[in-house]
Structure 1
Amino acid sequence: MRISRVYVDHALPTGSEVSLDSRASRYLTQVLRLRACDRLILFNGDGNDIEAELLSCDKRGCSVRLLRITSSESPPSLAIHLAIGISRGERMDYALQKSVELGVQSITPLITERTVVQLKGDRITQRTAHWQGIVASACEQSGRSILPDLSMPTELTTWLARSQGGFMLHHAAENGFAAFPAPTTQTTLLIGPEGGLTEHERALATASGFEAVRMGPRVMRTETAPVAAIAAIQTLWGDFR
């Protein structure tokens, strides 16, 4: 039987007893329905999995005893950064979830000319916190111990000014990924929101060192594109080999 993995946002010193935060406690009791003496794996994003024993749960939360480090996640041979235009609702959630499962190391949600979702003030913080939960849950499911870095939503033009180039998805591009030389240790993947990047934005990206690539002759939805593209990159140059 597979031992459940749970993300917690605090230190995990082995040999000690710690109280879990409300998110982790709810997950243990309401979703996993664990009981005292059950074993589980905790991780906080630093790369280590910690075996723990559930001691007790009450209205204030759960407490566990941290037993030992069971495994450590090694850095990938190819670090993939995903920069993706913000899409609506579940589409963005799905894109983030599957991208994490496929192994991206960092993510930047982008505000583009065709971005429909309006994020201002508290909504930016709230939505980013929601996406952070999606990232953590995807790590729990996929066995990852290092949490991908999730940036705050950023204007595309601002982001391009500090980027170092990479690949930009465009259905009308001439070449696929295989036409380009293999990246060395890292690469960046730029994907637009619903409707894609505008011609002006693609020109800016090209001027910033991005190569346009296509994923076959079909036009993909914004939540499908990152899944297909990341899988292609991992197959050609990453840890799918």
Structure 2
Amino acid sequence: MQVAEWYTLHGKMPRLYVPAAFAAGERLTLPEGPARHVTRVLRMGEGDPLVLFDGYGQEAGVHLADIGRKQTTVSIEAVWPGSGESPLAVHLGQAISKGDRMDYAIQKAVELGVAAITPLYTERGDVRLKGERGEKKRAHWQAVAASACEQCGRAVVPPVYPPQQLEEWLAERHEPLRLMLHLATGNAFAHHAPPESIALLIGPEGGLSDTDISVATGNGFTPLTLGPRVLRTETAPVVALTLLQHHFGDL
């Protein structure tokens, strides 16, 4: 059975991220989080169908096989490659913002096909994460990315890397097209030849500093504006990624 047949047979159904190896004909014990979601939140019962994805590009059509107090298992009926990935690989460098703004930026970037995300410390950014707090925050952002994949149909969960200083991230960039948003430049987005990959830099609420801009320019980044209006730090990646996917990707 292939993906089209599975959806034709069962219609719309939940998609869950389960990082495990899938093999048709086998049974799989769901991790605690997905098991609790299907049984206590969705109130699904034995025999109900759903789709799992492993985060690396594989999907599986399964039925709930056994619901117990200690574990919930599914029977894997079919396995197929996911088809929700963009042909354009964009690595987003997103300045860390306060509250739920960072969650929003990550969620929407994933929906728009971003390939990887690195949270960044910039000169004007006032969020600093250290030690256990930093690791918990990164794990939370990775979970946001996985949840966005469940919603939007992607089978590959983009990595959310540990936060880096802007200078470190810039020095590691080798993408053939490197862009940073900077309102004051007046440089509008121009349609280049389709690149294999892109690095996209988004600054914090207060914008990139002169030092940030100088270092980025020295590392091959082209400053550009998205128009005369000032976009919030969580809105900018949505607009920029939409443009890039329209010109070079699959929108």
Query: 1:17–1:118: structure 2 CA closer, same or farther, 3 Å change rule?
Result: same
Deviation of 1:80 (Å)? 1.1
**Alpha-carbon separation, structure 2, partners of 1:176 and 1:58:** 58
Matches within 5 A, 1:197-212: 197-212=208-223
Residue 133 in structure 1 maps to residue 140 in structure 2:
no
Indicate the residue corresponding to 2:174 in structure 1.
Answer: 164
For structure 2, the 5+ residue unaligned runs are 1-10
- Mapped contact 1:81–1:188 kept (Cα < 8 A): yes
Indicate the residue corresponding to 1:174 in structure 2.
Answer: 186
Matches within 5 A, 1:41-56: 41-56=51-66
- Mapped contact 1:48–1:73 kept (Cα < 8 A): no
Deviation of 1:25 (Å)? 1.0
Indicate the residue corresponding to 1:77 in structure 2.
Answer: 87
Identity rate, percent: 44
Deviations 1:30-53 (A, max 9, x none): 332211100000011121210001
TM-score, length-scaled by structure 1: 0.94
**Alpha-carbon separation, structure 2, partners of 1:41 and 1:233:** 30
Comparing 133-142 and 26-35, the one that deviates more = 26-35
Which amino acid is 1:175 matched to?
A: N
Number of residue equivalences: 239
**Alpha-carbon separation, structure 2, partners of 1:71 and 1:4:** 17
**Alpha-carbon separation, structure 1, partners of 2:88 and 2:107:** 19
- Mapped contact 1:169–1:213 kept (Cα < 8 A): yes
Deviations 1:3-57 (A, max 9, x none): 1100012222221111111111122123322111000000111212100010122
Deviations 1:122-153 (A, max 9, x none): 01110011011100000000000111122111
For structure 1, the 5+ residue unaligned runs are none
Deviation of 1:70 (Å)? 4.2
Indicate the residue corresponding to 2:127 in structure 1.
Answer: 117
Indicate the residue corresponding to 1:4 in structure 2.
Answer: 14
C-alpha root-mean-square deviation of aligned residues, in Å? 1.5
- Mapped contact 2:85–2:113 kept (Cα < 8 A): no
Deviation of 1:74 (Å)? 6.9
- Out of 222, 230, 243, the residue aligned to residue 232 of structure 1 is 243
